[in-house]
Structure formats: structure tokens, C-alpha cells
Chains A and B, each alone.
Chain A
């Protein structure tokens, strides 16, 4: 049950790029057995080659997180191969460009499916296992984008706000079962997802973000952790701005 022989067993969803890939790299270097899931199989293969000589191990499956029917099989396979699970991180997310006059339902629903639907599908699987084995850590990636309803990204922000509530519920529900649920709220991270945005505010690299995320996952101090931490005061200020002012600003 507990990791006696191995350093630990982790599953990262959205492992092929950005923060997900950075998390995989770091965990494998630390000696973890890591399972990775992403839509693009070739990126996973490349990552596996890159990590071949590291301390831990990396196994992977190509899977589209919107395929809720397939998810239990993929989860089962990977957890069996890992020999159990201690840490689960859902890092898949999309943030397509949304124009100021755009109301594209198709695009918005696809975003909900990946960011929210996929997350619930996968996190439920991990939550059920952790609940029944009375142990484990779940890391959910929210965002400062979920703090306020911004003009620029109505649905992206809404999915992240929904996730914050979902993870909070899981945290409270699973506390009795000794399962830890950490909500990470990244600020602006340099990843492929944000590459098309100009003028990132206080950006940090995906590697730095991954290191912070793992620190939060292991620490006891934060249930909700801004990454990097300096976003915490910024976030508090932004959340305090009254609505009538907020709508005149673009932050």
C-alpha cells in the first residue's frame, strides 16, 4: 500500500507539455514512478526518451481527457503498472483565444469539457481510490483567472472557478479519510498555453511553477497555494476591487 520500495507513485494528466511535463520531469528525477496521460502520444514518447536515464520511471498512455468512457481503463492500467498511487495531479487545460465580441458556444463547451469535465472525470477516479485506501494527495490546478469574471475569458475563468469549488469540496470530504487535496493557483506561467499572450505579468517558468507545486503538495501550510507565492497579495487585492470599478479596468 504505502511506498516502501519506491520513492512514490504519481499520475500526471496533461503530461506532454507545460506544467504537466515539468512536473513529470521533476518527479522522475526525484525517483518517483510516474504515469503520464496526454492527448499527443508522440510528445509523451519524446518525454519518456528524455527521462530514460533518470532515477525514477515514466510510463504513459495517449488519451483524450474528454473520453470519459475510456478514462477508467487508462486509470486502471496505469495504477496497476505503477503498483499503486500516492499523488495525482490534473494539469490538463486549454485556454483558446476568445475575441472581445466572440460568443462561440462550440469553443466554450470544448473548454468546459477539457478543463472541467476531464478534470472531474479523472479526479473522481483518483478520489475514489484515495478515499477507499485512506491516503493520497490530489493536486488540482485552478488559476488566478478563476478569482474574478474578466472580460477576456468568460468561460476559462468560469471553469477555473468551478474547479476551485470542486477541489474545496473534495478537500473537506476527504479530510476524514486522510487524503490531502491542494488547490494550486498559478499566476502567469510561461507555457505553450500562454505563449500567444503578450505582456505576461510577473511570469515564471513552468519548471519553477512545478517546483512550487510539489512543495505545496508536500507542505502542510497551504490548502490553496498561489504559484508563485507573490500572487497571493495581488490576488487578494484584485478580489477586493468592487465590481463597478473592476469592469472599467483590464487586469
Chain B
């Protein structure tokens, strides 16, 4: 304690509030969404592009490295920087304008997909591309060039973006679009924050005629049947996504449930003014009678091999029942944001930092996908490290420099990370990564926790990778923009995989 002293009234200074930008928040533990990796960093939360520039120039002057971060929804180490600071754009979250005639929204970097759809929906629009969770920021989504369950049809989010503002590492603010600095536009989208901080995103949304969407569940006995169904419907379906029970083996390998959805046309919804309301989009507050905020505690009891085998089996059987009910209508939010139904469901995988889950999403070209997925499912079953959740999607190529998009398929798999499994898991990912690369496949930085530099060399076109590196060297010669992901996957280690 400070001793009492008689001059306290005049002797103690009044509290001084910080007047400069300052990180303000001090040091905090910054982790990936999957929680399996994280580090303590100073976190800066600028409120304007000017403050972003100030923060970047300040970091450069101090010789500090900076990782750019949105909502931290990337599963791995894409927004973690154990060797420096983190710049979090979530405070810049205003929708600057929304054109009700065209559905084009001009948004600050930290506007989330949630902010965007809640603004657009009552005006009769829905974002063209959304992820399975509504919390990513648009800057983060652009930096990762995210896709949705309609990637085969509308491309990635980059395809919906018209132009972006960036603050370069020099502090210079530039606009990039397909006409203005197209090289930068196509590199920064999907450039995982390595070229500059995206501070504004102008993005197109889609006109909708109802707040609901037609959905059908189609139960399939194996991966072959699933891919066959999806391929037969890519022309007509607006969304196609397959849930895969990774425990199914032999002839049942890749069994699961497809969700096939299509937008409603004008007049199909008898009361669009009511379904196009935010109230109609609310996700359920309870699940099977349990308050949803506590449901993860129940899932936790099942987050083990037999529990997940049972849960997946049950879900597959319920899928068969769902198919019987035919087409049904669901709100856009309920259909799209499955990951948000159970808040903090990831805690079922463990709450201690360093444990949790990794997502391992593999992208395979159309010709080798079927065989590749079967091989990947077989090998994880053989090792007894089976993914607790599998999701299959159809993709298409896009013009962005370091894109994961290709004419093919992806399977996203969630693997539990615990102290006991860590070593076996990384050796399995190393093996599976070779399976993918041998077949001309790719990976996706928003999900990645395991890639090493040799995998990056192998999965991207040599010229495109060189062009990206050249742009990085030009715009950020001191490599101020860094993340753990950058050092891991673009470093010098001669390995295919290394754990984040």
C-alpha cells in the first residue's frame, strides 16, 4: 500500500488517460478458433484507416512484426503472431453505404458477415457467399477468400467483392479492384493478410424473394453416391453440402447426408415481408430442451472415439428420416450458419489453451477426388484417429493468386487435439498431406494448422507463387506483416508438414 501522507491531496497526480492511439488493451492471449495454438501478443484495435496506418508505421519504426486479425475465426495460426503484435480490425465495423437498387454494400474491414446479412436481409438481399459461421469479418473473409456451400456456383467471396481499400506496410492507402491495381486485388484477396491491411470492402449481395429457402435432405450410403448426387445437381441447386460420417468404413465409407437447397422465386413465399425480418431468422434458443449455451457440456461427454462413433451413427440414421420428409423451408440463417447453433461447441474438445481441435480440409481435383477421399478415410480409420465431423463441398477455380479453389471437391475434417494425441495426429496429417499432394490437391489457409513450406511449393502454381512472393517483397520488404502461419508455411524448413 502507498502510505498515507498529508500531502496526498496535492501530491498525487490525477489519473491521466491515454491520449495517443496506443494498443490500450495491453497484452492478451491470442488463439486460433480451434484453440490448439496461440500466443501472447499486444493487440491493437484501430478505429479508422488512419489509425491502421499509424499502427503499422509505429510498428515498423519499432521493428515489430504485426499480424492482421479479424474475428479470429481461422482455425489455426493465421492471425497469431508469437513474435510480435496483432492488429485487430473489429472496431472498424460500420456499413458505410448500402445501395438498395443493386444490393452493393460498402463496408469497413471489421463488419462481420452477421452485420452484413442483418443489414441486407430486411432490404431483400442476402450475401452471395457466407461461411458456416456468421462471425468472420469481411476483411478476414477477403484475406482468406472464403467460400460457402455454393462455391461451385458463385465462386468464393472474392468473386463477390468489387473493390477494397488497403493500408500497405508503408502506411500508404490504396484502392484495388479488377481495374485499379488488379495484381494487388487478386493477390490481397486470399493473401492471408501478408500484403496490407484491408480496411474497406465493397461487396455485392444477392436479391432474394423470401427469408426462407427450400431445403431437402438426401441420405447417401457412401462417398461415391454422395459425389454422384452432387454432380448431378450442380446446375440446378443453389447450395449443396454433404455431411460425412467419417466412421463409416468399407462400402459405407463416406456415408452421410446431403443438404440440397434452392432460393425461392418471386411469389413462392406467400408472406415475404414476414420471413424477410430479422425475428424470423433467429436461431433456436434451446436444443432438445437444453439452453443452447450449455449444450457443449453435453457434447463434451461425447467427444471421444465411442461417443462420436455413436453420435455420427445416430445422425446418419436421422438423416434417413429427414429424407422422408422431402422439401422443407428453413430461414437463411438457420440453413447457412450451422456452426453457430451451439455456442462454444468447440469447448467440447477441451477448454485448456493448447487443446481443442484442428480442422484439416483437403481439396482434390475432380478426377482424383473419389479415390483420394476413400484413401484418406481409410488411413484415418486405420490409425484410429477418425475425424469427428466431415463436410464435403464442390468447388470451382477462381482468379485469385493463392486460391484454394479448383475444379474439384473438398472434405473438411475436425480432429480433436489433446496432449496424448498430438504426436500421432501430426504424423497422420503428414501422411494424409502426401496423399493429397500426390493427387494434385490443395489446402486452405483459414483451416490449416499443419502445412510446411514444401507443401506450399507443391500445391500452388510455381509462377503464381513467385508472383506472390515478389509482391510481398515489393510491398513489405522488411516482412513486417507476419503470422505464425507465414513463418511456418513460407519459411525455409524442408518439410511437408509441421504443427502450428
A contact set with B: CB distance below 8 Å: 1-2, 14, 16-20, 38-39, 64, 66-69, 71-72, 75-76, 79-80, 84, 91-97, 104, 106-107, 109-111, 113-114, 117-118, 121, 125, 128-129, 131-135, 178, 191-196
Find out whether the CB atom of A128 lies under 8 angstroms from the CB atom of B28. Answer: yes
Known: A68-B17, A94-B8. A129 touches B26 (CB 8 A): yes
- Does B3 sit at the interface, judged by CB under 8 A? yes
Contacting residue for A66 out of B5, B13, B30, B351, CB 8 A: B13
Find out whether the CB atom of A20 lies under 8 angstroms from the CB atom of B1. Answer: yes
Q: Taking the nearest CB of chain A, how far is it from the CB of B58, in angstroms?
A: 13
Known: A106-B10, A113-B14, A135-B353. A94 touches B4 (CB 8 A): yes
Find out whether the CB atom of B6 lies under 8 angstroms from the CB atom of A66. Answer: no
Known: A64-B13, A68-B18. A91 touches B29 (CB 8 A): no
Find out whether the CB atom of B2 lies under 8 angstroms from the CB atom of A94. Answer: yes
Shortest Cβ distance from B30 into A: residue: A132
Find out whether the CB atom of B9 lies under 8 angstroms from the CB atom of A104. Answer: yes
Contacting residue for B8 out of A107, A132, A191, CB 8 A: A107
Find out whether the CB atom of B30 lies under 8 angstroms from the CB atom of A178. Answer: no
Complex A-B: 17 CB contacts under 8 Å? A1-B353, A14-B2, A68-B17, A69-B17, A69-B18, A92-B1, A96-B5, A97-B4, A109-B14, A110-B8, A111-B8, A113-B13, A114-B2, A132-B31, A134-B352, A192-B1, A192-B4
A99 to B370, CA, bound (A): 85
A69 to B21, CA, bound (A): 10
13 further contact pairs, Cβ within 8 A, besides A67-B15, A72-B25: A69-B17, A72-B24, A76-B42, A80-B40, A94-B8, A106-B9, A117-B15, A125-B25, A128-B25, A178-B351, A191-B1, A192-B1, A193-B1
Q: Mark out the residues of chain B between 335 and 364 whose CB falls within 8 Å of any chain A CB in the assembled complex.
A: 351-354
B contact set with A: CB distance below 8 Å: 1-6, 8-10, 12-20, 22-31, 38, 40, 42, 351-354
Q: Taking the nearest CB of chain B, how far is it from the CB of A194, in angstroms?
A: 8
What total count of A-B pairs have CB within 8 Å? 134
A118 to B1, CA, bound (A): 13
A192 to B2, CA, bound (A): 8
Known: A72-B24, A113-B12. A84 touches B4 (CB 8 A): no
Find out whether the CB atom of B13 lies under 8 angstroms from the CB atom of A19. Answer: no
Known: A18-B3, A68-B18, A94-B4. A134 touches B351 (CB 8 A): yes
Shortest Cβ distance from B1 into A: residue: A18
Q: Which residues of B contact A71 (CB under 8 A)?
A: 26
Shortest Cβ distance from A193 into B: residue: B1
Shortest Cβ distance from A133 into B: residue: B29
Find out whether the CB atom of A17 lies under 8 angstroms from the CB atom of B3. Answer: yes
Shortest Cβ distance from A21 into B: residue: B1
A109 to B9, CA, bound (A): 8
Find out whether the CB atom of A128 lies under 8 angstroms from the CB atom of B26. Answer: yes
Find out whether the CB atom of A76 lies under 8 angstroms from the CB atom of B16. Answer: no
Q: Taking the nearest CB of chain A, how far is it from the CB of B67, in angstroms?
A: 15
Contacting residue for B4 out of A19, A75, A193, CB 8 A: A193
Shortest Cβ distance from A136 into B: residue: B29
A136 to B269, CA, bound (A): 52
Q: Which residues of B contact A191 (CB under 8 A)?
A: 1, 3
